[in-house]
Structure 1
Amino acid sequence: MRIIALILLPLSLFTSQPFFAFFTPPPGWVLGDPQTLQGGAKVGFVASKRKAISPSIVMTIENIGEADLETYMKAVARLHKKKTYRELGAIPSKAGIGKIIQIDEKHEWGVSRMLQAITLVSGHAIILAGVTPKEEFLTYHQALLKAFQSLTVAPTLCASCRDSQLSEKVTEMMICWKKYRLSSTAPPSTLFSSTLFQKNQWEPFVDYVKNSLKSQGSCWQFLAIRSTYETLINGE
């Protein structure tokens, strides 16, 4: 898990939502390069980093206000009107019932097939998009569907994990962070990078998430670290 890479990402990629969402990627898939995330994309995984064109899955969260699922799906259909687009019906997940669509798109290297599972939660659309070369679709589609169905939403990061130490460690770090902020006029990014905070608070927290909470899965771990960083920097 490349903690430095994710810390350097623009905060605009990680605008806040009133919940904590995560999913379980297909077995053996690895965390994609955080630097390639765009728009509201939160996290991505690839089947292999050795292939130039590898199956992938990305979770994106979009604020849609008061729009309902039917209205949002119509907007999605208009967005992809020049592509081969099909609505495939409902898909259940731990986060609720969503809609699944299939989109085929031509590229210089061939045709890709994308499955998107779209679930609405608290005025936000959570979009899980799995993409494969069309000729490999049957090899991966069941794994993608299983990943879609694993989508989980909790009210907060700490509520998403049964380990009570997480809440304790987050609370302790936030208290220390507030003290750092009050004792300095430096911007949050400078304070965060300081040796004092890194050695005493941030690095121990990251080590705890990486080593003690492996059972939560790599997606959860990545998002837990990123969410905590965002909270610190934004002062939420």
Structure 2
Amino acid sequence: MKRFLLLCFLFFSSLLCSNQPQFTFFQPPEGWLMSNPTHLEDGLKIGFVQSQRKIFTPAISLYIEKIPCDEKTYLNAVLKNHRSDITKSIRELGLLQTKSGKSHLLQIDTKSNWGKIRILQSILVKEGYAYIQTATCLREDFLKINQELLKSFQSLCVADDLPSTLENHEELDKKLATLLTSWKKHLQTAKGEKEDLFKANFFQRNQWLPFTEYITHNYAEFGICWQILAIQYVKEQLMRMY
């Protein structure tokens, strides 16, 4: 399991950084597995599946995008996009309270080669960004898992930064300060593109890998979603430094 987490961390560390400054995470349904990170599209932060053995399995994901308009305009555009597809049937289910505010809940029914599909989508608009959780399952399975999906949607947390998600974050603060200081010195003394400097054996071996192992060993109780997104978030912070 630890080896799997480390491989995931290494993959996410190679992703291009985004301009999204907040730290965002959620709790997937208990027992669900992280989906293959190589299948993530741009803007899709993380995904989970109920089973890796089924051809079509219930899944949930988190997508974040910067939006150039207000909440109402954005939601109208989303609805218009869904309704333009004649294969879809869409219902607005109202507001859902998450840890970071009220999201808009949509239900979308469609068809695929595997049968009738039901999609639940929770859209939270906050400070110029849209945080979109999407859950997909066969319609026949929906009643079995809909409460799990709603609970996962409600767990969405958009925090000002990573440490603020912890009650006691003094140790993490120190680890981050050490990492940032080392990275800044590395930028000043080495030549090359940031991504290449980040991948350099010296920095990886002495700073980055020990930090990811620290997250793995010390914050397992927060779950793999928090851990993976924490690593990704810190990588993005490093890439913003000059």
Question: For residue 53 of structure 1, what is the amino acid of its counterpart?
Answer: F
Question: Is 1:202–2:208 an aligned residue pair?
Answer: yes
Report the Cα distance in structure 1 between the residues aligned to 2:125 and 2:110, rounded to whole angstroms: 25
Amino acid at match of 1:63: K
Given candidates 79, 96, 103, the residue that maps to 1:77 is: 79
1:18–1:122: 8 Å Cα contact kept in structure 2? no
Distance 1:66 1:208 in 2: 39
State the one-letter code of the partner of 2:55: A
**Could you tell me whether the CA contact under 8 Å between 1:6 and 1:35 is conserved in 2?**
no
List aligned pairs for 1:161-172, cutoff 5 A. Answer: 161-162=166-167, 163-172=169-178
Secondary structure, counterpart of 2:140 in structure 1:
helix
Sequence identity (%): 38
In the TM superposition, residue 44 of structure 1 has moved relative to its aligned partner by 0.7
| Deviation, structure 1 residue 58 | 0.4
Q: Deviations over 1:122-177 (max 9, x none)?
A: 11111111111111111111100000001111101122223321111111101101
Equivalent positions of 1:41-60 (< 5 A) are: 41-60=44-63
| Structure 1 residue ranges without an equivalent (≥5) | none
The residue identity in structure 2 corresponding to 1:148 is F
Q: Distance in 2 between matches of 1:26 and 1:91?
A: 17
Match of 1:100 in 2: 105
Match of 2:37 in 1: 34
Give the AA of the match of 2:195: S
The offset of 1:51, in angstroms, is: 1.2
| 8 Å Cα contact 1:161/1:216 also seen in 2 | no
Correspondence 1:150 to 2:155? yes
Cα distance in 1 for residues equivalent to 2:132 and 2:238: 26
State the one-letter code of the partner of 1:124.
Answer: Y
> Residue 54 of structure 1: SS of its match in structure 2?
coil
Within 2, Cα distance between the matches of 1:49 and 1:186?
40
Moved over 6 A (4+): none
Gaps in structure 2 of 5+ consecutive residues: none
Whether 1:120 and 2:125 are equivalent positions in the alignment is: yes
Q: Alignment partner of 2:97: what SS?
A: strand
Aligned to 1:132: 137
Report the residue type matching 1:190 in the other structure.
Answer: D
Give the SS at the match of 1:156.
coil
For residue 212 of structure 1, the aligned residue among 215, 218, 241 is 218
Tell me how far 1:96 sits from its aligned partner.
0.5
Please, what is the CA RMSD of the aligned residues?
1.4
Query: Which amino acid in 1 is paired with 2:157?
Result: T
3-state DSSP class of the match of 1:217?
helix
- Counterpart amino acid of residue 78 in structure 2: V
Q: How far is 1:195 from its partner?
A: 2.0
The alignment's TM-score, normalised by the length of structure 2, stands at: 0.91
Partner AA of 1:193 in structure 2: K
2:188 to 171, 182, 187: 182
Give the structure 2 partner of residue 222 of structure 1: 228
Where 2:192 maps in the other structure, the secondary structure is: coil
Aligned residues: 232
Q: Is the counterpart of residue 6 in structure 1 residue 19 in structure 2?
A: no
Which one has more relative contact order, counting CA pairs under 8 Å at least 6 apart? 2
